[in-house]
Chains A and B, each alone.
Chain A
Amino acid sequence: MMSPLIEPALDEARVEAETRRIGREIFAGRDRLRAGWSGLAHERLGESIMEMVMGDEELRHGLLRFVDAFPALHSSDQIARHFEEYLAPEGKLSAGMAAAFHQLAHLLGRTHWLSRYPVAWSSRRAIRLLARRFIAGNTPEHAAARLNEHQQHGFMFSVDLLGELVVSESEADAYQCRYLEMIEQLGQWVPPPADPAGRVFGPHINISIKLSSLTARFDPIDVNGTAAAVMRRVVPLLEAARDNDVFINIDMEHFTYRDLTLEIIRRLLETESLRGWDGIGMVAQAYLRDAETSLESMLEWLRDHNQPMTIRLVKGAYWDSEVLWASQRGWPAPVLSVKRHTDAQYERMTRRLLAEHAFVRTAIASHNVRSIAHALALANEMRVPQSQFELQMLYGMSGALGRALVSMGRRVRIYTPCGEPIAGMAYLVRRILENTSNESFLRQASHAGDEERLLADPKETRL
């Protein structure tokens, strides 16, 4: 039924012009919305903290380390001691840091930063606020209010469960239980939106899972053993999802897990009870050097198996660790080293995915206005049906941009993590790292005036 698609010739110049036009429209919408919106307290505070650490590597490093250690600190003394050791070594803050913390203290209504209890109190409060910015609640039930809010504002969501690293079979069982509970109950806590306004296609409950959390031994050296252990836990989850009309997205993690994850997805789709079901999604990471080859072989497999699939296209969130690990092992880094090469590859992959809209539903997961505008322009040009295309953003990072896209009538899904603070810390550190990186689009785009540069074609841009 599905034959290899011959890509229709596109008017490249028009796609590029449309990309710029839509991009400007998005920026304008964002600026309009931002003007009348001061943000919630935790958003403002998060902004301030991240503004502070931008451009001060020492402070950024200290803050990340402190945030990372924070959940393990149980007394005020402990918190104050670590605060001092990470952020005020030798008992005094650097001039930059002192200024930064004066500002923070002002925001928090406290003044004496280096006396112990206020330090502990303020750190707790600041980190709790930071966590609240990126993590919706301790449990899906706690996060339900946020999810309902998303829907009221015209967004859709995908819930992600943050958790500790799974090191034992009993922990993998516990994860499976948490996922099952969420599959069976989230629909009660979060009813479908009253006025879908043509935005919802398929189930409104959408859950993201990590296969590595479903076994103590997620090891690519042993494909069959790992696949068997994961399948034993994930097949019942997917069957329950199918029975409860819940969509499951299978997240992608580090590069060493990628091929194994794809192999397990293929085995799942060959399972009698799941074959042909369209409630499963997967992820492609555009920052990987071989991302296009990998995507191509998966598309071929899907086509050969008549299997519909939702594919979330991301750039990738593990760039730093991929580079560090590769360097330690003497392996070539699996990721592209230049950001705009990733952006360009992202655009090529967007085009490949949209071309397969007969059986692929594409989720453009990015906060980069150029990437989004390009996808929207292509989708128009290629006449991709509304049901086969959506945008995705991260909780705490969509902001006015997300609201602008919704107001333009776009389908936007918010990837919404929930979990306990300890478990969430790795996620939180990744988000802070991302939001304070010089490469971050959101950072670069936070001030008006640079729109044309930010909308330039990554193939051509020389930064």
Chain B
Amino acid sequence: MNDVDGSQLPGFANEPHLDFSRAESRDAFADALAHVQAKLPLNEPLVINGRRIETSERIKILSPSDVSLVVGESACAGQAETELAIDAAEKAFHDWAATSAAERANLLLKVAEITRVRRLELAAIEVFECAKPWREADADICEAIDFMEYYAREMLRLGEPLRLQPDVLGEKNELVRLPLGVVAVIGPWNFPLAIPVGMMSAALVAGNTIVWKPARQSPLILGEMMRIFEEAGVSEGVINYLPGLGETAGRMLVESPRVHMIAFTGSREVGLSILRAAGKVPAGQRFVKRMVVEMGGKNAMIVDASADIDAALGDILVSAFGYSGQKCSALSRLIVHESIADELIKRFRDAVDSLKIAPAWDPGCQVNALIDNDARVRVERAIELGCRDGSAIYIGNLGEFENRGHYVAPAIFEGLPKDHELVRQEIFGPVVIVLRARTFEEAIEIANDSDYGLTGGVFSRTPSNLELARREMQCGNLYLNRAITGAIVGRQPFGGMKLSGIGDKAGGPGYLQQFMTSRAISENLMRHGYAPVKQT
């Protein structure tokens, strides 16, 4: 494999999304859907040490949009397979860690290139497997490509030893970065390609070997992605694809004394339990586990008295109901200045009533089915609670979609007490809680009155209020006068504060270092009072 010459590589640029206003984009996407649908059901065995392994236990994937459509099934790793996967990763580590940064970056760029060529097919799989609507599915693939392109370049930067205080004579001081070992990457289903690929490619390019456990709900898209890594020439055992359940495979990975680091994105409950479990040091474990844990949000958007309501409404709809609210960045609390609250709420209500509920493969879909029946039951329960304890501004109607898949119609509530669980806890569905504020300062207080601190937004045309928000809003990603979802790699590095997680922002300059350790090397160059002038 030829090494990449960092100086020849063009600068990072985001992969452009498809422009669906062009007929050729729409036609190509529709063709990809038909092509993938003809291949269903898919089947994905485990991939351990380059070998495909079937298991008797299976994970079945029915389309959330229509449960009569079988999308496919994957193997399901038990204890034995999980041990095998860790073995394989451990054995592969030595050789992989010894490769050059450029070689690893090159692999990642090659994978990005193949992904680019196959982006429509990958997007189509998400449409069926995860009920991602067209635009969202396309954006997810683009983001995965972005992560690979971005971390490849980051590795070329960090792969160079950092020379320290070169002016000091007679000694050479440098900082070199080293991989950690085996990294378990435990991904979510809501950005089924971008997030798992982002975490995994960072671990990979840093020189670690990986056990890659997709979410139970979305193993198939990553099975396809695994083949792309193999096609690009990743060595056996460096990435081990291990679909399985959180309670078995997930738990074993977290507790294993041989797993050096866990990169996790998912629920707060699981995230905190991972942090607790990983804090224990079992006999034979010779390191403290590293953690990157991203756990969600209860994100607020403030609409100030001076806001452009037309502009705000469009972005509120996108932020709250994009992918039916199943994003950790989704708008969940809408905080409205009371002087405009009645007008805004009325228009918001009517706008939500106009959203189209549809299967994700319908290009007009605005509210898609939730990921599975558990999610549906959970969100339906939240809506019942809202009706019981607050006043319903809007409760949608599913109509023909009542029994086809895991659909839940949008709902908006207000008048809930401030410590009510719907105001406090992540709902992860198409539900918005409206809160009124008398002043902008009070709006910020309400926004900050949360355990979470992931995304937040402000619509205002008052410069001093925007300035106040910049200073005071407790969130990792603050968006002013725009939607609060859709962070772009390299442009809006993504990650929260407070109970939203620990770890540096994905798609930002600090992310890759988390997957490495470093060694400061200091060499005395003096021999009997003599040292070379050029100390390299």
Contact B364 A219 (CB under 8 A): yes
Which of B21-29, B123-131, B212-220 touches A?
B21-29
Q: Which residues 347-361 in B have Cβ within 8 Å of A in the complex?
A: 347, 350-351, 353-354, 356
B5-33 CB contact bits vs A (8 Å, 1 = yes)? 00000000111110111110010000000
Q: Is A12 an interface residue (CB 8 A)?
A: no
Q: How many A-B Cβ pairs are below 8 Å?
A: 102
Min CB gap B127→A, angstroms? 13
B201-225 CB contact bits vs A (8 Å, 1 = yes)? 0000000000000000000000000
Cβ 8 A contact of B306, one of A69, A164, A331: A69
**Interchain CA distance A196-B473 in the complex, whole Å:** 63
Q: Is A260 an interface residue (CB 8 A)?
A: yes
Contact B354 A169 (CB under 8 A): yes
Cβ 8 A contact of B26, one of A223, A255, A257, A331: A223
Which of B104-112, B416-424, B447-455, B460-468 touches A?
B460-468
Interface size class of chain A, counting residues whose CB lies under 8 Å from the partner chain: 35 or more
Min CB gap A96→B, angstroms? 20
Contact A74 B19 (CB under 8 A): no
Q: Is B317 an interface residue (CB 8 A)?
A: yes
Min CB gap A228→B, angstroms? 10
Q: Is A94 an interface residue (CB 8 A)?
A: no
Contacts A74-B339, A257-B21, A330-B13 given; does A167 touch B364 at CB 8 Å = no
Q: Is B41 an interface residue (CB 8 A)?
A: no
A211-240 CB contact bits vs B (8 Å, 1 = yes)? 000001101111111100000000000000
Contact A165 B314 (CB under 8 A): yes
Contact B347 A82 (CB under 8 A): no
**Interchain CA distance A433-B462 in the complex, whole Å:** 21
Cβ 8 A contact of B363, one of A68, A85, A169, A225: A225
B280-321 CB contact bits vs A (8 Å, 1 = yes)? 000000000000000000000000011111110110010000
Contact A86 B463 (CB under 8 A): yes
Specify which chain A residues have a CB less than 8 angstroms from the CB of B313 in the assembled complex.
165, 167
Residue of A nearest to B488 (CB): A328
**Interchain CA distance A428-B347 in the complex, whole Å:** 23
Cβ 8 A contact of B366, one of A78, A82, A217: A217
Q: Which residues 116-172 in A have Cβ within 8 Å of B in the complex?
A: 164-165, 167-171
Q: Is A73 an interface residue (CB 8 A)?
A: yes
Contact B16 A329 (CB under 8 A): yes
Specify which chain A residues have a CB less than 8 angstroms from the CB of B14 in the assembled complex.
330
Min CB gap A204→B, angstroms? 33
Contact A222 B363 (CB under 8 A): yes
**Interchain CA distance A226-B366 in the complex, whole Å:** 13
Min CB gap A410→B, angstroms? 36
Q: Is B376 an interface residue (CB 8 A)?
A: no
Contact B364 A222 (CB under 8 A): yes
Contacts A220-B20, A329-B16 given; does A167 touch B314 at CB 8 Å = yes
**Interchain CA distance A224-B310 in the complex, whole Å:** 25
Q: Is B116 an interface residue (CB 8 A)?
A: no
Contact A164 B310 (CB under 8 A): yes
Q: Which residues 68-99 in A have Cβ within 8 Å of B in the complex?
A: 68-69, 72-74, 78, 81-82, 85-86, 89
Q: Is B135 an interface residue (CB 8 A)?
A: yes
Residues on B facing A (Cβ under 8 Å): 13-17, 19-23, 26, 134-135, 305-311, 313-314, 317, 339-340, 347, 350-351, 353-354, 356, 362-364, 366, 461-464
Can you list the 4 inter-chain pairs with the closest CB atoms, starting with the nearest?
A168-B350, A222-B364, A69-B461, A225-B364
Residues on A facing B (Cβ under 8 Å): 65, 68-69, 72-74, 78, 81-82, 85-86, 89, 164-165, 167-171, 216-217, 219-226, 255-260, 329-331, 426
